């Protein structure tokens, strides 16, 4: 088994676990946070995209349009998910939000199996179900706690659906487009869509509160969870099936919950612990049962 893709996924899980912490520390609107995060990530990739100009110019118009669509899906994912953490009275704790936003493995697994003909065997199916079981446990816990949080739960869940579609679309395009070109076009398109969302929702285009601190947090989001997290996921998509990459994202709630406990004083409930345990078992089962494609070409 080639270890590179799984090492990349492991590193990405650690990186993305910091995302919700940076978001919680920010004072800006949820759309503003998403906009600056993607804008900075696109700017970071710009010199690398220009250095590989031939590959970027070699992207077909069809693929460029498809990646623009993927960018729109990514923008929607971040808008919905960050709203679940920051949208006033309906905001939910970090643990609940990140578990629900990673509830897309069932959708990804089913579509990959029936639409893309990527076979999901029994062990992978069991892992997907175990991962999703943790999501159900968290949703039940939030339902008992307070009714308004159900709105936040729904936002996080819909953000998860968008994340699943993002991974599925990327899985196909990444077979023929280099990582740098793919990430630059997708992130740039997402930035444009988020700018439009900000105008439509009447969100502030300027950071709120301590501006230097906010800019620092936005840069941290772009570098750690985005470049160090999402871009590594995009690299792994070329070698690992979409259900595996999708389910591996369930590792984020575990890391995020521990970080929220340590840095935000948000102590996970016993039900969150049960859901986290189910998710970890599901990740292990799915990763073990899925083969990795050989790395016959460079990215």
- Domain spans of the chain, in order of start: 4-289
Task: List the one residue out of 75, 28, 21 whose CA is nearest residue 212.
Answer: 28
Phi and psi torsions of 93, nearest 5°: -60, 160
Tokens of 6: 């799984």
Give the predicted TM-score (pTM) of the model: 0.82
Task: List the one residue out of 46, 49, 7 whose CA is nearest residue 228.
Answer: 7
Cβ neighbours for 156, distance < 8 A, ≥ 6 positions apart: 80, 81, 84, 92, 96, 97, 98, 100, 101
pLDDT in tens for each of the 299 residues of the chain?
456 777 888 888 889 899 999 999 999 999 999 999 999 999 999 998 888 777 888 889 999 999 999 999 999 999 999 999 998 778 888 877 887 787 766 666 666 667 666 677 788 778 778 877 877 777 676 666 555 677 888 899 899 889 888 877 887 787 788 888 998 999 999 999 999 999 999 999 999 999 999 999 999 999 999 888 877 877 776 777 666 666 676 677 778 888 998 999 888 777 767 877 787 787 667 666 655 544 333 33
């Amino acid at each position: 088994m080639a270890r590179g893709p799984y090492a990349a996924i492991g590193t990405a899980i650690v990186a993305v676990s910091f995302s919700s912490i940076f978001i919680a520390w920010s004072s800006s609107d949820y759309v503003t946070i998403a906009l600056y995060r993607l804008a900075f990530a696109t700017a970071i990739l710009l010199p690398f995209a220009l250095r590989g100009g031939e590959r970027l110019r070699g992207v077909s118009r069809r693929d460029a349009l498809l990646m623009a669509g993927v960018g729109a899906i990514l923008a929607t994912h971040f808008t919905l998910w960050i709203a679940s953490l920051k949208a006033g009275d309906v905001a939910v704790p970090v643990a609940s939000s990140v578990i629900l936003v990673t509830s897309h493995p069932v959708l990804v697994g089913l579509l990959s199996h029936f639409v893309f003909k990527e076979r999901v065997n029994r062990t992978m199916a069991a892992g997907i179900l175990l991962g999703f079981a943790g999501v159900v446990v968290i949703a039940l816990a939030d339902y008992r706690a307070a009714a308004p949080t159900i709105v936040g739960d729904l936002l996080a869940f819909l953000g998860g659906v968008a994340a699943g579609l993002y991974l599925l679309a990327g899985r196909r395009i990444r077979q023929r487009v280099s990582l740098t070109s793919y990430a630059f076009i997708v992130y740039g398109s997402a930035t444009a869509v988020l700018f439009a969302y900000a105008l439509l929702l009447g969100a502030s285009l300027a950071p709120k509160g301590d501006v230097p601190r906010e800019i620092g947090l936005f840069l941290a989001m772009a570098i750690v969870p985005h470049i160090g997290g999402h871009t590594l996921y995009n690299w792994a998509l070329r070698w690992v099936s979409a259900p595996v990459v999708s389910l591996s994202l369930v590792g984020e709630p575990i890391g995020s919950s521990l970080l929220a406990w340590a840095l935000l004083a948000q102590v996970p409930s016993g039900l969150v612990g049960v859901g986290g345990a189910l998710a970890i078992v599901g990740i292990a089962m799915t990763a073990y049962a899925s083969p990795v494609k050989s790395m016959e070409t460079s990215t």
